[in-house]
Amino acid sequence: MKINSAFAFVFFAWLLIFTLAAKTLDPYKVLGVERNASQREIQKAFHKLSLQYHPDKNKNKGAQEKFAEINNAYDILSDEEKRKNYDLYGDEKGHLGFDAGDNRDQGGYTYFTSGGPGQRGFQNMGGQGGSQSFSFSFGGSGGQSSFDFGLGDLFSNFFGGGMGGGDKSGSSSSSTRSQFSSRSSPKSIRAVNSQVYKKEIFDKGMTWLLLSYSPTFKGTQHYESIIEEVANSLHGALKVGSINCETELSFCKDLGVYPRRAPRAFVYSYRVSDGGSLVEYSDDLAVKNLKFFCQEHLPRFSKRIDLSQFEVSSGAAGILPKVMLLSKKKDTPVIWRVLSGLYRNRFSFYDAEVHDVSDPTVRRLGVDALPAVVGWLSNGEKHILKTGISVKDIKSAVQDLSSVLDAFEKTNKKAASSQAKKAESESEDRQIPLLTGSNFEALCGETTPVCIIGAFRSSKARDKLEKILLSVSQKSLSRRQNSVFGSRDSISYVLLDASKNPTFLNSFDKSGFKSQDKLLVAYKPRKGKYAAYIGEVTSEDVERFISSVLNGDVKFTKTRQKPTLR
pLDDT of residue 135: 36
pLDDT of residue 474: 75
Is residue 141 over pLDDT 90?
no
The reply to whether domains 303-424 and 440-558 share a CATH topology is yes
CA gap 553, 350 in Å, rounded = 20
Mean pLDDT, residues 105-116: 35
Residue 263: is the preceding peptide bond cis (ω within 30°)?
no
Is residue 420 over pLDDT 90?
no
List alpha helices for 428-538, DSSP H: 440-444, 459-475, 502-506
Residue 234's nearest CA partner among 191, 302, 287 is 287
pLDDT of residue 301: 93
pLDDT of residue 244: 95
pLDDT of residue 110: 34
The strand pair at 120-124 and 110-114 is best described as antiparallel
**3-state class of 501 per DSSP?**
coil
- Residue 22: pLDDT band with limits 50, 70, 90: very low
CA gap 365, 374 in Å, rounded = 8
Query: 239-253, 316-330, 371-385, 433-447 — which is least confidently predicted?
Result: 316-330
Where residue 257 falls (left for φ over 0; alpha for ψ -120 to 50; beta otherwise) is: alpha
pLDDT of residue 50: 83
Mean pLDDT, residues 273-297: 90
Query: 67-71, 76-80, 170-174, 271-275 — which is least confidently predicted?
Result: 170-174
Most confidently modeled of 38-47, 94-103, 135-144?
A: 38-47
Domain boundaries, the chain: 2-144, 151-180, 190-296, 303-424, 440-558
Higher pLDDT among residues 548 and 20, named by residue: 548
Q: Are 360 and 202 in contact (CB under 8 A)?
A: no
Give the CATH number of domain 303-424: 3.40.30.10
Residue 562's nearest CA partner among 507, 494, 506, 513 is 507
pLDDT of residue 1: 47
pLDDT of residue 327: 94
Q: What are the tens digits of pLDDT across the range 56-93?
A: 778 888 888 888 888 888 888 988 888 888 887 777 66
What is the architecture of the domain spanning 190-296?
A: 3-Layer(aba) Sandwich (3.40)
pLDDT of residue 129: 37
Is residue 345 over pLDDT 50?
yes
Is residue 100 over pLDDT 80?
no
What is the architecture of the domain spanning 2-144?
A: Orthogonal Bundle (1.10)
Is residue 518 over pLDDT 80?
yes
Q: DSSP letter for 482, please.
A: S
Domain 440-558 falls under CATH 3.10.290.10: no
Q: DSSP letter for 247, please.
A: T
Is residue 322 over pLDDT 50?
yes
pLDDT of residue 4: 55
- Residue 426: pLDDT band with limits 50, 70, 90: low
What torsion, rounded to 10 degrees, do the Cα atoms 325, 330, 332, 334 define? -110
pLDDT of residue 208: 96
pLDDT of residue 8: 52
Is residue 500 over pLDDT 60?
yes
pLDDT of residue 318: 58
Is residue 178 over pLDDT 90?
no
Neighbouring residues of 33: CB distance < 8 A, sequence distance ≥ 6: 41, 42, 45, 77
pLDDT of residue 372: 95
Query: 184-198, 450-464, 476-490 — which is least confidently predicted?
Result: 476-490
Query: 171-180, 374-383, 394-403 — which is least confidently predicted?
Result: 171-180
Query: 107-111, 276-280, 412-416, 479-483 — which is least confidently predicted?
Result: 107-111
Query: 31-40, 239-248, 320-329, 485-494 — which is least confidently predicted?
Result: 485-494
Mean of per-residue pLDDT scores for the chain: 77
Task: Provide the strand spans (E) within 187-230.
Answer: 190-191, 207-213
Is residue 418 over pLDDT 50?
yes
CA neighbours closer than 13 Å in the CB half-sphere of residue 245? 22
